[in-house]
Amino acid sequence: MKAVVYEGNGCIAVKERPRPKLEHTKDAIVRVTLAAICSSDIHIKHGSVPKAVPGIVLGHEFVGVVEETGSDVKNFKPGQRVAVNVETFCGECFFCRRGYVNNCTDPNGGWAMGCRIDGGQAEYVRVPYADNGLTLIPDSVSDEQAIFTGDLLSTGEWACRISDIEKDSTVAVIGAGPAGICTMLCARLYQPKKIIAIDISQDRLDMVKAAKIADHVINPTRTDVGAKIEKLTKYGGADAVIEMAGGEDTFDMAWRIARPNAVVCIGAMYEENQILPLPQMYGKNLTFKTGGVDASRCGEIMKLIESGKIDGTCLITHRFNLEDAMTAYDIFENKKDGVIKVVLKMPQGH
């Protein structure tokens, strides 16, 4: 089968790889129909994810059809369409029982797919703990509607949930890329009074404003962010700030635009250490919540997609066949042609 492989030292390539086989009784083999390229794949390519294993098949955002299941898989059977979770988790350890699946204690627990074990930018993939890692796609939901269930929409749902968003509050989201947009889509479910999008790409800001994903937009290259936030908020800042950009100065921006006693959620990945200037923020009494997504509510997200309450298809700007993955990566990594999200169609895809 063909697959996108991380070769190390900044190199990826489309290569021939053996079709995966069941290795454990809780595994499933999924025939991939559609996969997406994520910014995390770019981080892996450039060596910014220390746990990533050279030679691994990339990809942790994908959907497909169950081909084969192990003897202990109870909830899925061949022929069913499924979305795959970014997290691998046992469902039984201390952390899993509390919903903290990102810290599952299994050796392959947490973000393993496309990082430490072979992922889904391939024609076939092995999914460990399939009963936990798969979500059934209803017939009324397309592959493109379902593809962000296990990662981007889970990230947005998780970030909003831990940010304690209240009705009629003001939410500021730093970053209008895929993760930021999905965060805004999920934030809307909490009925905030205002969602403020902050990004240096005016094209992306124009898109989220036109699509009514955000109520207000701020471009730091054109506007003083702090001053604008002061005008848009009642108590000196946003009630919740969610940082999804991971830029050089976005961590500092996040705490500065939060009102006193606000929640600052850091969902971004950084390539450099960040400074927490405690003397400067003393007295703001902020609550910081950080880390990787606990993608434990994929079933609920799929129901929201099915009901039309969340629709992430607006993110998909480019579509390529698997054999053209290197072109797709170039466009995505270098932000060409107004790209937001790229998907790869597999040879058998529909």
- pLDDT-derived band of residue 48, with 50, 70 and 90 as boundaries? confident
pLDDT at residue number 244: 97
Q: Does domain 154-290 have CATH number 3.40.50.970?
A: no
Separation between Cα atoms, residue 149 and residue 133, nearest integer Å = 11
What DSSP element (H or E) covers 343?
strand 341-345
CB 84 within 8 A of CB 63: yes
Q: What is the mean pLDDT of residues 12-24?
A: 97
Separation between Cα atoms, residue 82 and residue 147, nearest integer Å = 9
φ, ψ at 55 (rounded to 5°): 95, -5
pLDDT at residue number 31: 98
pLDDT at residue number 58: 98
Separation between Cα atoms, residue 189 and residue 158, nearest integer Å = 13
How many CB atoms are closer than 10 A to CB 55? Answer: 11
* Helix, strand, or coil (residue 61): coil
pLDDT more than 70, % of the chain = 99
- pLDDT-derived band of residue 157, with 50, 70 and 90 as boundaries? very high
pLDDT at residue number 29: 98
pLDDT at residue number 350: 40
Which positions ≥6 away from 307 have C-beta within 8 Å?
none
pLDDT, tens digit, 9 for 90 and up, residues 209-247: 999 999 999 999 999 999 999 999 999 999 999 999 999
- pLDDT-derived band of residue 349, with 50, 70 and 90 as boundaries? very low
pLDDT at residue number 272: 87
CB 108 within 8 A of CB 156: no
Q: What is the pTM of this model?
A: 0.94
Which sign does the torsion angle of CA 108, 113, 116, 118 carry? positive
Position 348 pLDDT exceeds 80: no
Q: Bridge partners of 3? A: 15, 122
Instruction: Kindly list the domain boundaries of the chain, sorted by start residue.
Output: 2-151+294-345, 154-290
CB 131 within 8 A of CB 73: yes
Mean pLDDT of the chain: 96
- pLDDT-derived band of residue 188, with 50, 70 and 90 as boundaries? very high
- pLDDT-derived band of residue 130, with 50, 70 and 90 as boundaries? very high
CATH code: domain 2-151+294-345 is: 3.90.180.10
Separation between Cα atoms, residue 144 and residue 142, nearest integer Å = 5
Q: What is the mean pLDDT of residues 192-204?
A: 97
Separation between Cα atoms, residue 117 and residue 113, nearest integer Å = 5
pLDDT, tens digit, 9 for 90 and up, residues 236-289: 999 999 999 999 999 999 999 999 999 999 999 887 899 999 999 999 999 999
Do 2-151+294-345 and 154-290 have matching folds?
Answer: no
